[in-house]
Amino acid sequence: MKFNTKTIHGGQQHEEATGSVMTPIFQTSTYAQSSPGVNKGYVYSRSANPTRTALENAFASLENGTHGYAFASGLAAIDCVLRLLKPGDEVIAGDDLYGGTYRMFTRLFEKYGLKFQYVNMNDSSNVVNAITEFTKLIWIETPTNPLMKIADIEEISNSVKQTNKDILIAVDNTFATPYLQQPLDLGADIVMHSATKYLGGHSDLVMGALIVKDAELGKELNFIQFAAGAIAGPMDSFLALRGIKTLHVRMQRHCENGRKVAEFLRDHEKVGAIYYPGFKSHENYEIAKKQMKDFGGMVSFRLKDESKSATFKFLEHVKVFTLAESLGGVESLVNHPVSMTHGSIPEAERLKMGITDSLIRLSIGIEDIDDLLLDLDQALRK
């Protein structure tokens, strides 16, 4: 199947008992057995639930994987990956990460003996040069949150595997979605999504996803998911399945509106720096063009007046955009990373990354573009 067909039919079957076209919500915790150990493939919903199974099959199909797993949140999915490691193991991650990921790395898993290095992944040689005998995992975000840096997944994967084929490559594909890039096809071992965002697409669920091609790696992740219990429930699984069916058409509009918003901001007299991988001036434009189908619906920028008061005035005067956490829904959102998504990162580290008080992140929705541009313009001129 082509991708646009996969979003609707990939990994799916009509429900056997009634022929229901849509996967039912199996709102049950347990399943009848005809004899001890004799069942229809389901025993207890922490291990498996038919609604979640359908969603996990859809995840695998979209990323060209063989096994998908749905978690209670994106951070629960990341937690599962890190539980593959043991004290003393080392993770190399990008130097621009979602704040919740950074918080998990530094405030949870460092206490349990894992070590973390942070490098600029714009240049793949930085990753290879950081590898030590203790390195077990490379954690890639691309595009990054919130500075929209781009890492060359294929080049990093090939270079790392040539150095040590046992090092795992994991990619947070939340910003791009499988519509724009498919990391498993570029050499990654694990793809992670905050399915809360574009996969769900309607700001009505919290969920994480992992997808792999290797069956043995899948078994390890599945065991951790079962043993730790951070699973997605049947209602959220149903909502995510519903959202995925329109992923392709939503992403087309997100990308279309994203480009127009980025161009508008680039030319606006009140705007200073802008972060959008679809501009030729972006330092990794060629990589983005090579590995992404389009450039997505996320745009970050700074005002020329970089004072906190000017930034807050803009944030307080948007009307169509909503000032809120998260991203990837049909509605346009505006975010202040310092006080919202990246507030858990110490100030010195934030500044080192380039996340200052004046940085603003936009998640461009699928509204009429004229309304979005008018809203931005009136807020910028306050």
Catalytic positions, please?
46, 98, 172, 197
| Structure-token pair, residue 341 | 């998504």
Q: Which of 194, 210, 248, 234 is nearest to 23 (CA)?
A: 234
CA distance 190 to 172: 9
Residue 93 · residue 118 · CB < 8 Å? yes
User: One-letter amino acid identity for 13?
Assistant: Q
The DSSP 8-state label assigned to residue 325 in this structure reads: S
Q: What separation in angstroms does the CA of 308 have from each of 139, 321, 326, 357? A: 32, 19, 21, 6
Measured distance CA(265)–CA(364) in Å, rounded = 13
Q: Of 158, 342, 377, 131, which Cα lies nearest the Cα of 270? A: 377
Q: Are 267 and 228 in contact (CB under 8 A)?
A: no
| 298-303 β-sheet, strand order | 271-275, 298-303, 359-363, 333-335, 322-323
b/e sequence 246-272, b meaning 16+ C-beta within 10 Å? ebbebbebbbebbbebbbbbeebebbe
